[in-house]
């Protein structure tokens, strides 16, 4: 009976092997948990544990074969040495395995900050900037645009592609999702952590756009209030003074001041201006001023596209042109002023030249007027330079090499 119980296939043998089978089953489940969870941290810890176990087994075999130690003694010594090596080298191993991830996180933050700053200048390029940012972060082999509504980012095709919702169709426009295929130039698959990262990036950019829009609405409302106050208060006072003027010269001066105030308030009330409309207003304003001073105006405007100017751009250019023409009238005593404006590509050039009495601009002491011109041109990212005009007078050149305007999102 004893021999029969110990023979293979008998119930006794199966009962004796049962605990071993259950131990192997639970050990296999334990080893599969990190892979099923797709957690990089769990997989990394499992890999280090496997490496330390390999070292411990190798040391155990070495001690038994060379030093002829007993099984318990050799195993204890091998485990002790393996744990000591693991404790000493663990931080170095972690630095080697996650160092690239830390660099990627830093690079992601820098790129997110850069794109957020770019969105402040060009909010209509939101979709394009998001696409470029995701391309830089995940480095996919291909980025496709898909007109589909998606709630959150999702991994499809077993990790081959990542679908990221960029624009919702609830606001009336077409929905847009980006499909990123094969991360790291085809070297790895997408994971659920990548989907969460993409959602966080898109959410942060949406918040940045919403914040900028709220700030711009507040600025527009404040400009409207200031324009209304100027029109109702200062305009009414100037109108009263014009009717009470003692001389025709004083009445004419106040009338021109009212026209300037009207132009200023209209510019403050508008959120943006077409270049063609702004140029027409500048020409009408300068024509009135120069005709009153009996000075000829030469006017030339060329542009390859009729761009939209922001309030900052319109205000800066308006004040620069006015200040330069004022200097030609009251300091140069000019009889003719030529204004030339050219927009070619991203470069905007402005030239204001006169035939007055000015000379040696390098020796000028720039006060509030010319200092304000420099400040406003610098605000637009350009440079300004004065030189002597031939045969007489002064010419001022303004160069804006990167004249950025609100672009339509393609």
Statement to judge: residues 26 and 96 lie in one domain: yes
Statement to judge: residues 295 and 347 lie in one domain: yes
**Residue where a domain stops, chosen among 187, 209, 231:** 209
Q: With respect to residue 177, please indicate whether it lies within any of the assigned structural domains.
A: yes
Question: What is the largest distance, in Å, between two alpha-carbon atoms of the chain?
Answer: 138
Q: With respect to residue 7, please indicate whether it lies within any of the assigned structural domains.
A: no
At 312-331, the pLDDT tens digits run 888 889 889 988 998 888 88
Statement to judge: residues 198 and 304 lie in one domain: no
Pairing of strands 383-388, 336-344: unpaired
| Count of structural domains within the chain | 3
Statement to judge: residues 314 and 384 lie in one domain: yes
Cβ–Cβ < 8 Å for 125, 116: no
Statement to judge: residues 400 and 298 lie in one domain: yes
The pTM score is: 0.50
**Residue where a domain stops, chosen among 189, 209, 229:** 209
- CA 350, 354, 359, 364 torsion: positive or negative? negative
Average pLDDT over residues 20-44: 62
Residue with tokens 């720039």: 366
In 3D, which of 313, 316, 305, 393 has the Cα closest to residue 352?
Answer: 393
Q: With respect to residue 192, please indicate whether it lies within any of the assigned structural domains.
A: yes
Statement to judge: residues 69 and 175 lie in one domain: no
Statement to judge: residues 93 and 140 lie in one domain: no
Write phi, then psi, for 121 (nearest 5 degrees).
-85, -40
Statement to judge: residues 107 and 167 lie in one domain: no
In this prediction, residue 40 carries a pLDDT of 59
Statement to judge: residues 145 and 113 lie in one domain: no
State the DSSP H helix or E strand holding residue 291, giving kind and residue range, or none if neither. helix 275-292
Cβ–Cβ < 8 Å for 271, 220: yes
In this prediction, residue 42 carries a pLDDT of 63
At 187-221, the pLDDT tens digits run 788 888 889 988 988 888 888 778 877 887 887 78
Chain mean pLDDT for the chain: 79
Statement to judge: residues 324 and 336 lie in one domain: yes
Q: What is the span of the domain harbouring residue 129?
A: 122-209
Q: With respect to residue 163, please indicate whether it lies within any of the assigned structural domains.
A: yes
pLDDT above 70: residue 391? yes
CA dist 358 and 327 (Å) reads 10
Statement to judge: residues 74 and 47 lie in one domain: yes
Q: With respect to residue 8, please indicate whether it lies within any of the assigned structural domains.
A: no
Q: With respect to residue 223, please indicate whether it lies within any of the assigned structural domains.
A: no
Rg of the chain in Å (alpha carbons): 38
In this prediction, residue 13 carries a pLDDT of 56
Residue with tokens 């170095």: 92
Q: With respect to residue 243, please indicate whether it lies within any of the assigned structural domains.
A: no
Q: With respect to residue 3, please indicate whether it lies within any of the assigned structural domains.
A: no
Statement to judge: residues 387 and 293 lie in one domain: yes
By CB atoms closer than 10 A (0-12, 13-18, 19+), residue 269 is middle
Average pLDDT over residues 125-146: 87
Output the domain CATH number for residue 407.
3.30.565.10
Cα atoms in the Cβ-side hemisphere of radius 13 Å centred on 68: 0
- CA 326, 328, 330, 334 torsion: positive or negative? negative
**Residue where a domain stops, chosen among 166, 183, 209:** 209
In this prediction, residue 401 carries a pLDDT of 92
């Amino acid at each position: 009976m004893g021999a029969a119980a110990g023979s293979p296939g008998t119930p006794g043998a199966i009962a004796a092997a049962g605990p071993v089978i259950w131990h192997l089953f639970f050990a296999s489940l334990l080893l599969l948990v990190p892979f099923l969870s797709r957690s990089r941290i769990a997989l990394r810890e499992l890999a280090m544990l496997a490496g330390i176990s390999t070292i411990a087994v190798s040391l155990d075999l070495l001690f038994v074969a060379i030093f002829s130690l007993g099984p318990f003694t050799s195993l204890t010594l091998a485990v002790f040495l393996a744990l000591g090596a693991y404790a000493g080298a663990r931080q170095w191993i972690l630095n080697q395995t996650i160092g690239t991830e830390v660099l990627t996180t830093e690079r992601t933050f820098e790129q997110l900050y850069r794109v957020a700053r770019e969105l402040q200048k060009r909010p209509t390029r939101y979709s394009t900037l998001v696409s470029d940012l995701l391309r830089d972060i995940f480095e996919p082999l291909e980025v496709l645009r898909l007109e589909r509504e998606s709630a959150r980012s999702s991994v499809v095709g077993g990790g081959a592609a990542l679908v990221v919702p960029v624009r919702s169709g609830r606001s009336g426009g077409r929905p847009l999702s980006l499909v990123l295929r094969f991360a790291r130039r085809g070297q790895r698959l997408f994971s659920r952590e990548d989907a969460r990262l993409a959602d966080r990036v898109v959410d942060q950019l949406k918040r940045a756009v919403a914040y900028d829009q709220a700030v711009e609405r507040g600025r527009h409302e404040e400009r409207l209030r200031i324009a209304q106050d100027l029109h109702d208060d200062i305009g009414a006072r100037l109108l009263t003074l014009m009717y009470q003027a003692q001389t025709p010269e004083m009445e004419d001066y106040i009338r021109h001041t009212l026209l300037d105030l009207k132009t200023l308030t209209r510019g403050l009330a508008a959120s943006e201006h077409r270049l063609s409309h702004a140029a027409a207003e500048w020409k009408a304003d300068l024509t009135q001023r120069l005709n009153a001073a009996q000075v000829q105006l030469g006017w030339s405007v060329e542009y390859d596209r009729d761009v939209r100017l922001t309030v900052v751009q319109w205000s800066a250019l308006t004040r620069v042109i006015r200040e330069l023409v004022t200097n030609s009238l009251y300091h140069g005593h000019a009889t003719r002023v030529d204004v030339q404006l050219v927009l070619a590509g991203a470069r905007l050039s402005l030239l204001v030249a006169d035939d007055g009495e000015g000379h040696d601009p390098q020796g000028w002491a720039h006060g509030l007027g010319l200092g304000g011109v420099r400040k406003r041109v610098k605000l637009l990212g350009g440079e300004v330079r004065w030189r002597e005009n031939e045969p007489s007078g002064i010419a001022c050149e303004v160069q804006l090499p990167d004249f950025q305007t609100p672009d339509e999102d393609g």
